[in-house]
């Protein structure tokens, strides 16, 4: 582990690129941002070349890498954040607008994309002032439903069932909420891909979705690239559902005193611990979570056990979203 008082270093592109072919920069669109990337990201939607909000570059990062025993090494400063996985590579976020990547030996772009489009992107979005949740979200007739829950609760499965019912994916795994307009928080669209376990994918057909090759034996979920069924526009945040397994489909409101701890628990940045919220970031994050808990409906959603009954939950969600939109 590197000393906690060691400052983060800048990347050394020249040292890393010596003897290597120069990478082509491609342009993409995700989370309302134009992204110029030297890592190939077919998960994202292509964009025309232009001014980039975020640059992703491949180069050497002059910081210690984690040992096989430590596996990971995270470091957080107000302007730069360092996240490294021994088996994948190192990622350095600078000024919320640049991500430098040093891949581990033998690692290709497909494997780099897993942390890049997950925790690394989540942290960058958080630093840009968005409230980021570890969740899935769908758009339904001008409303949006956000599904949070513990691992295995069925967030992506429930979102997929909603897509099959004719609604559209907003984002999977990383949900970003834009609170710039306090009177109307918005769910920001991510990219048209959802990850599903094999049994869920077999039970819930997503039509013409492209199943991408498995990139690592340890990754049990398959990536489904949607051809249609995706919302590229921001949608008002209407409901947040905390998923639990139950005997029957049921939705019950959570009081604010219970909603706030749930929002904090499933906010993405809390996965990194208190170190990821230095100085004023902790106060701002608590304020965002509190505002959401008090102004957006937060509900406990019981989903019946068994994929053959997922339609019961979908029907109940549709009715609840309709009722919620009428009250807005």
| CA 119/CA 252 separation, integer angstroms | 30
Range(s) within the chain of domains with CATH label 3.40.50: 131-327
- Of 7-21, 61-75, 186-200, 269-283, the least confident: 7-21
CB burial string 34-44: b at 16+ within 10 A, e below: bbbbbbbbbbb
Mean pLDDT across 210-238: 84
* 127 CB-contact burial (10 Å; exposed 0-12 / middle 13-18 / buried 19+): buried
Mean pLDDT of 191-216: 80
Contact indicator for 135, 157 with CB cutoff of 8 Å: no
pLDDT tens for residues 86-105? 999 999 999 999 999 999 99
Distance CA 273, CA 290 (A): 18
Taking the chain, what is the end-to-end CA distance rounded to the nearest angstrom?
A: 50
Least confident of 64-68, 141-145, 210-214: 210-214
**Per-residue pLDDT reduced to its tens digit, 287-308:** 999 999 988 889 999 999 888 8
Once rounded to an integer, what is the mean pLDDT over residues 140-161?
Answer: 93
Per-residue pLDDT at 284: 92
In whole angstroms, give the CA distance from residue 83 to residue 19.
26
Per-residue CA distances from 190 to 21, 85, 146 (Å) = 30, 24, 13
Helices (H), ranges, the chain = 13-17, 109-115, 121-127, 155-164, 198-203, 256-266, 280-295, 310-327
Tell me the C-alpha to C-alpha distance, in Å, between residue 135 and each of 11, 14, 124, 299.
32, 38, 16, 14
**Would you say residue 15 has pLDDT above 50?**
no
What mean pLDDT comes out for the span 234-263? 93
* 1 exposure class (CB count in 10 Å sphere: 0-12, 13-18, 19+): exposed
Give the rounded percent of residues in the chain with a pLDDT score beyond 90: 71
Tell me how far apart the alpha carbons of residues 121 and 132 are, in angstroms, rounded to a whole number.
10
DSSP 234-253: -EE--EEEEEEEESS-EEEE
pLDDT at 68: 92
pLDDT of residue 324: 63
pLDDT at residue number 5: 33
What mean pLDDT, rounded, does the chain reach?
Answer: 89
Other beta carbons within 10 Å of 271: 13
For the segment(s) 131-327, the CATH number from 3.90.79, 2.40.160, 1.10.760, 3.40.50 is 3.40.50
Q: Tell if the pTM clears 0.75, that is, is over it.
A: yes
């Amino acid at each position: 582990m590197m000393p906690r008082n060691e400052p983060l270093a800048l990347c050394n592109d020249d040292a890393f690129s010596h003897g290597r072919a120069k990478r082509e920069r491609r342009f993409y669109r995700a989370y309302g941002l134009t992204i110029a990337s030297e890592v190939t990201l077919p998960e994202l939607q292509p964009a025309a070349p232009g001014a980039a909000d975020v640059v992703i570059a491949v180069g050497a990062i002059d910081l210690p890498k984690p040992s096989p025993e430590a596996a990971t090494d995270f470091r957080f400063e107000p302007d730069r954040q360092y996240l490294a996985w021994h088996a994948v590579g190192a990622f350095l976020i600078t000024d919320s607008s640049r991500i430098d990547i040093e891949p581990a030996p033998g690692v290709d772009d497909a494997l780099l994309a897993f942390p890049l489009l997950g925790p690394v992107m989540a942290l960058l979005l958080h630093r840009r002032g968005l409230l980021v949740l570890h969740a899935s979200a769908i758009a339904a007739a001008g409303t949006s439903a956000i599904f949070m829950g513990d691992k295995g609760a069925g967030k992506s499965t429930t979102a997929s069932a909603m897509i099959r019912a004719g609604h559209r994916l907003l984002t999977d795994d990383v949900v970003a909420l834009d609170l710039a307009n306090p009177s109307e928080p918005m769910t920001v669209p991510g990219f048209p891909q959802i990850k599903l376990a094999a049994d869920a994918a077999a039970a819930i057909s997503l039509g013409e979705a492209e199943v991408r090759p498995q990139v690592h034996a340890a990754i049990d979920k398959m990536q489904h690239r949607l051809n249609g069924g995706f919302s590229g526009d921001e949608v008002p945040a209407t409901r947040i559902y905390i998923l639990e397994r139950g005997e029957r489909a049921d939705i019950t409101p959570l009081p604010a005193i219970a909603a706030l701890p749930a929002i904090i628990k499933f906010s993405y940045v809390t996965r990194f611990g208190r170190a990821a919220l230095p100085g004023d970031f902790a106060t701002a994050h608590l304020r965002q979570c509190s505002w959401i808990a008090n102004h957006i409906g937060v509900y406990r959603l019981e989903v019946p056990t068994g994929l053959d009954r997922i339609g019961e939950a979908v029907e109940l969600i549709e009715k609840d979203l309709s009722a919620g939109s009428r009250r807005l």
